[in-house]
Structure 1
């Protein structure tokens, strides 16, 4: 077995592979003819491990240890990454490398015979498996390998410093050095405001976004040359615009563009400013541009969970939950805020990882028991997974639920009764109540579609979806709920629930392709060349 250490892209230097220059920190492959391609974090990790093996076989267990931190992962997760690597090998990497499967053992990378096939892997790549007889060997660039004892492992920190230093010297315009040169120190007062604003942004509600914007405005007033302050303000405006009326949304987008321009005046690679511009247009029809720009933003701010969360949201909207989970896992901070919990729970639900999902649900409930969004997310999921008793217990516990009106409780009691009994008369009653909610606001319509699908009323689900997305049959008001200042305009309405377990019956119906075609999703999948999870699952079944 080849010794494999966990791969940290932030500390992996560039190397060549046939005609390719591989940049782990940017997750980028650049061919000698100028063609470039950015790949996923996990795909880059696996490519590095296979390249470091220099043609030796790497087992699946070794890949899990090095690239998934030893966590339990499904075969599908590994297969998906290998499939993406093979796609790269047949595209930008044609003639530079191939991925070979060694049956019942693992994988090996076959490099080209061209100059640079494996020849320019730098010291950090060689140190993991250097033979004892090579102690003291000088590598390209003049870096000398030293070991603490003959035959023992080379000290990682000592070796990586040489590779990292040469990388920074070569990439003087790269994100790490650039940010060190262009981000001035800010006074403690500004740091405190930034921390408060970040907390408010992560509250998973619109009031939190409003408060965050106010705090960021104070930041830029106190530190007018602070790129991160302007970038965060731009992102807050841009994200908030998706939940406002048309006129107010356009005003927020205008402010976002101005704030992003200020941020990039001081730091041309400011990640939050780039993220703000990535999501500045309505969701529908702009998924491909948003996804591409967000990947670039994460390259320049690799530890920013704000950007990671919105990228994961885009991926869920287009049915790519596996990639969304990879993004969230890579950027998960030690202490999770409500929006991160909500995002992880939604993603795990979409993947059908029920045990892990329920662990996050319980943690979120213990930390944020009064969060409106988290409470109702938990209630709805309990209905969908058959834990109706738990959902009803939530309704009956006034101390453990957020403040809601009696009417809200009543129509949630109706739907809980329908899920519990599955009796036609109870389902009829629940759908009558929720059809009325659909006519009252976009939030009610979104839930009504899901309840109809989960309760076996597929025809009603498609009727409601036509109204929700296209105003056919009846017009669904833009306000999320009656009297709400939180809006969902037709080109901003959620699509991620279309790919979750509760709507599975819709996806097996011929009408689903018509729906996704009219939404522009079919065009996106065709042009991007990447199909949603549910179709790749069907292909593998």
Structure 2
């Protein structure tokens, strides 16, 4: 026990917190004596036990602390159930999300313990030791031999510290490159950062996890000639990360991305929730889950996850654009307009923001405003054919004449043979809004299921077959307001069954929003 105490491993009682000085953890200020954590999300009062565990983890950031050590240090060796520690770790993770905005995290090391990931600018233990007059053996070392030894150790420690700082910096760069929204999404930069991180620590599951995730996203934007190579390299990195740590969150997310629509809806949902349970601040997994739920017609549930994501990225154009879409689905058109107009000012070059504004205008009785957007910025549309389709559709939405609707129908039937943008889903929404349900279902069945005469063909980075398969899980437009008439039609449920949604709803014992009567 004495040896453990010399390394700063003695019991930490609640009364000891009062003698500790404050320290910074990520973007948060931690005050053990006042038992508070203050960060971008505000100030939170912390229970004594939660603060004890946080202090012990902060003594050696990045180092794994076993569950046994935490029980010994923070509970004084008194036997308590595993649930007690699990509850404390859960509280710390909520602090990270709600107060520190994800600037630190508590990583679970399976069957071992936990480690704190985040920058600690002042050691909690060192501050308490100095204030109470206690020093470690290293600090008491004397004589010329001690000075030389300490100098050598200090030099090694300085080099190692620089290496570790570079390693953490690279992982943050990988995170930034992949978490970036819209035009800031840079999987190429993330890939280079992750590759260098692996060279620094070739046995790190975290480094290989970021490498796997980087490669999986890079595969989605790689040219067709390199797509197979990119997918294989992503699989290789994923396997290495999971061999080191079967619970590595980014590697599991890479697995999710690589498998794509090969996983059924239920399996994709379960995998994402598992990743989030392992790393509650994994914003990419949270974003994927919010998208999945929206595509499954569970807008209200998707709203909660999207807003959770917004709390960590309050200026994200993608997340706020999704907020505007959901407000529209909820019937709050004015609120949706307020959100999207602000985004248009802040992100005038964003194709995503443009598309949300365009669709809102087109389907809320303002086709003239949508037409003005189309004429002012035609490059936001995938090509001339799609522009012609939308011109015909906007005329029909505005005029509602038989001739205009016939022209729109002809343009929509021609469009699914061309890849890109808002084409097929937009065509279905237009025809449903115009009351032409037969043609709307014809295009939807061809687009999603490859049935009938109107079958979509497109080349993507993954190749035509996988490209078509990915569209089977991108069905959010089926649950938008323009498709309300389709959802009331007897043909809608078989369409949903064809893409696997009915089975997903059954396994979750849940109804999509359009079936619910509250």
- Which residue number corresponds to residue 409 of structure 2? 431
More helix by share: 2
Give the superposed CA RMSD: 4.0
Give CA deviations for 1:341-368 in whole Å, capped at 9, x if unaligned. 3433344344444333223312321222
- Which residue number corresponds to residue 282 of structure 1? 260
After TM superposition, list the pairs within 5 Å mapping 1:10-159 onto structure 2: 157=45
- Note if 1:362 corresponds to 2:341: yes
Structure 1 residue 329 displacement after superposition: 1.2
- Structure 2 alignment gaps of length 5 or more: 1-13, 15-33, 36-42, 54-66, 72-81, 91-105, 119-162
Calculate the TM-score normalised by the size of structure 1: 0.61
- Note if 1:529 corresponds to 2:509: yes
- Which residue number corresponds to residue 432 of structure 2? 453
User: Residues 517 and 271 from structure 1, CA distance in 2 versus in 1: closer, same or farther, beyond 3 angstroms?
Assistant: same
Partners of 2:444 and 2:392 lie apart in 1 by 21
CA contact (8 A) 1:197 1:216 kept: no
CA contact (8 A) 1:375 1:402 kept: yes
Partners of 2:321 and 2:218 lie apart in 1 by 17
Partners of 1:485 and 1:527 lie apart in 2 by 30
| Further displaced range: 297-306 or 455-464 | 297-306
User: Residues 234 and 182 from structure 1, CA distance in 2 versus in 1: closer, same or farther, beyond 3 angstroms?
Assistant: farther
User: Residues 396 and 327 from structure 1, CA distance in 2 versus in 1: closer, same or farther, beyond 3 angstroms?
Assistant: same
CA contact (8 A) 2:432 2:485 kept: yes
Give CA deviations for 1:154-177 in whole Å, capped at 9, x if unaligned. x9736x122554796357786826
- Which residue number corresponds to residue 134 of structure 2? none
Partners of 1:410 and 1:222 lie apart in 2 by 53
Structure 1 residue 512 displacement after superposition: 0.6
Partners of 2:496 and 2:283 lie apart in 1 by 29
- Note if 1:504 corresponds to 2:484: yes
| Further displaced range: 465-474 or 217-226 | 217-226
Give CA deviations for 1:261-296 in whole Å, capped at 9, x if unaligned. 333455554322222234442336611111112112
Partners of 1:531 and 1:164 lie apart in 2 by 42
Radius of gyration: which is bigger? 2
Partners of 1:426 and 1:240 lie apart in 2 by 43
Instruction: Find the residue that maps to 1:357 and give its secondary structure.
Output: helix
User: Residues 477 and 515 from structure 1, CA distance in 2 versus in 1: closer, same or farther, beyond 3 angstroms?
Assistant: closer
After TM superposition, list the pairs within 5 Å mapping 1:111-510 onto structure 2: 157=45, 160-163=47-50, 165=52, 169=71, 170=82, 176=106, 178=108, 181=115, 186-188=164-166, 191=169, 194-195=172-173, 198-199=176-177, 201-204=179-182, 208-209=186-187, 212-221=190-199, 223-238=201-216, 252-264=230-242, 267-283=245-261, 286-332=264-310, 333-398=312-377, 402=380, 407-441=385-419, 443=421, 444-474=423-453, 476-479=455-458, 488-490=467-469, 492-493=471-472, 494-510=474-490
CA contact (8 A) 2:309 2:319 kept: no
Instruction: Find the residue that maps to 2:467 and give its secondary structure.
Output: coil
Partners of 1:531 and 1:401 lie apart in 2 by 39
CA contact (8 A) 2:174 2:193 kept: yes
CA contact (8 A) 1:203 1:339 kept: yes
Partners of 1:338 and 1:381 lie apart in 2 by 16
Figure out how many residues of one structure are paired with residues of the other and give that number. Answer: 385
Give CA deviations for 1:286-319 in whole Å, capped at 9, x if unaligned. 1111111211211222122211110111111221
- Structure 1 alignment gaps of length 5 or more: 1-122, 124-145, 148-154
User: Residues 394 and 200 from structure 1, CA distance in 2 versus in 1: closer, same or farther, beyond 3 angstroms?
Assistant: farther
Instruction: Find the residue that maps to 1:294 and give its secondary structure.
Output: helix
